[in-house]
Structure 1
Amino acid sequence: MSSDLALIMALPNESKGLFEQAGVEVHYSGIGKVNAAFKAFEVIQKTGCKTLLNLGTAGSSYFDAHELVEVTQYVQRDMDVSPLGFDVGVTPVDTDYPAEINLDGFFAHLNKGTCGTGDNFETGTPKVACNLVDMEGYALAKVCKKLGVRLISVKYITDGANDTAHLDWEENLLLGAKKLLELYKTIKSKKGWRP
């Protein structure tokens, strides 16, 4: 694999050791936006990568369970300064970046989605418009934008972001890891791959 590409996932649970068994180096961020931002910055500085590939899991009441969805837009579902007159998702006084961070699509065969990132395990309807939810992606996207690094992000839908989400997430991790590894392998064979 090109050294211009680095792979980041939130937790070893999301890879189930399958990536390491296949000889793929994975950088794990830990849970949440702060951990994700720190790790993304560290990985980019350490590897000099031009593309950061984020593979992981997400909940969705819109997409089918077990589907792979490429994220082409990230929003913050837990940034809420609405009592001061700001829309939910908008970070006050952050004029460099809008509330939405857009990504270029990479996988033509995958459905595209808007992912709402927040520091909570979502089991209801987010306050911002999005059709899948995670806990790290917006932070990864913002760090990449600030550093001029491309982010490609694909999520395996483990659960319906509902009251059984915590059970479904755990139950579906192994299948998700298998599907994400197969997707990763397609990058190697993609003709004309450019970071």
Structure 2
Amino acid sequence: MSQKIALIMALPSESKGLFEQAGIDVHYSGIGKVNAAFKAIEVIQKTGCSVLLNLGTAGSSHFDAHALVEVMQFVQRDMDVSPLGFAVGVTPMDHDYPAEIVLESYFPHLPQGVCGTGDSFETGMPKVPCNLVDMEGYALAKVCKKLGVRLVSVKYITDGANDTAHLDWEENLLLGAKKLLSLYQTVE
């Protein structure tokens, strides 16, 4: 990427200090859509980046554990106003931004997926069609679309988004950080 890039991750545990040890500036958003949106705006304004690179972890019952997956589309898996006649995942009266936010591919050698974002640690089947889940990506994508900044997002699959997901996530963070760092170093 020849444009100015800023790197955003949800938590320091996702980088395990490896990025900092390599002299890479990482912006951490914290968990959830609100924290991610706030931090994305702050980072874009502070750095003047034209590309926000999101590296992090996700669960998936579709992709193999330990895979790196480039997100090509984000959806909201916890937006549910269906009692008022709206499809799950659709934000009512938000005509400018669709329920699905599509990204351009940067890493065509990686498997590509649709990520469902929600403010819950998913351990079952999401209500919207997606093949991996996280807790920040849709918010990052929406902020980037609104501010005219390109978002590139790659997720390391830590768990199967099932009843042992919380244990698998914790156990696989170091390996994920190593794989994400290796990928990041191809960008420079």
User: TM tier, shorter chain?
Assistant: over 0.9
Q: Distance in 1 between matches of 2:61 and 2:3?
A: 36
Instruction: Tell me the secondary structure at the aligned position of residue 157 of structure 2.
Output: strand
Which residue does 2:68 correspond to in 1?
A: 68
Q: Which runs of 4+ in 1 moved over 4 A?
A: none
Give the CA deviation at 1:2.
Answer: 6.5
Which residue does 1:158 correspond to in 2?
A: 158
Q: Distance in 1 between matches of 2:3 and 2:30?
A: 23
Tell me the alpha carbon deviations over residues 45-92 of structure 1, each in whole angstroms, 9 at most, x when there is no partner. Answer: 000000000000000000000000000000000000000000000000
TM-score (norm 2): 0.99
- In structure 1, runs of 5+ residues without a counterpart are 189-195
Query: Aligned AA for 1:159?
Result: D
Q: How does 1:1-195 map to 2 (within 5 A)?
A: 4-188=4-188
Q: Distance in 2 between matches of 1:51 and 1:109?
A: 20
Q: Distance in 1 between matches of 2:174 and 2:145?
A: 31
Q: What value does the CA root-mean-square deviation take over the aligned residues?
A: 1.0
Give the CA deviation at 1:3.
Answer: 7.4
Give the CA deviation at 1:108.
Answer: 1.3
Instruction: Tell me the secondary structure at the aligned position of residue 62 of structure 2.
Output: coil
Instruction: Tell me the secondary structure at the aligned position of residue 172 of structure 2.
Output: helix
- In structure 2, runs of 5+ residues without a counterpart are none
Q: Distance in 2 between matches of 1:2 and 1:31?
A: 29
Q: Distance in 1 between matches of 2:124 and 2:107?
A: 29
Aligned identity (percent) is 83
Q: Distance in 1 between matches of 2:43 and 2:138?
A: 16
Q: Distance in 2 between matches of 1:71 and 1:132?
A: 9
Q: Distance in 2 between matches of 1:2 and 1:118?
A: 32
Q: Distance in 2 between matches of 1:68 and 1:91?
A: 29
Instruction: Tell me the secondary structure at the aligned position of residue 180 of structure 1.
Output: helix
Query: Aligned AA for 1:41?
Result: I
Query: Aligned AA for 1:182?
Result: S
Instruction: Tell me the secondary structure at the aligned position of residue 54 of structure 1.
Output: strand
TM-score (norm 1): 0.95
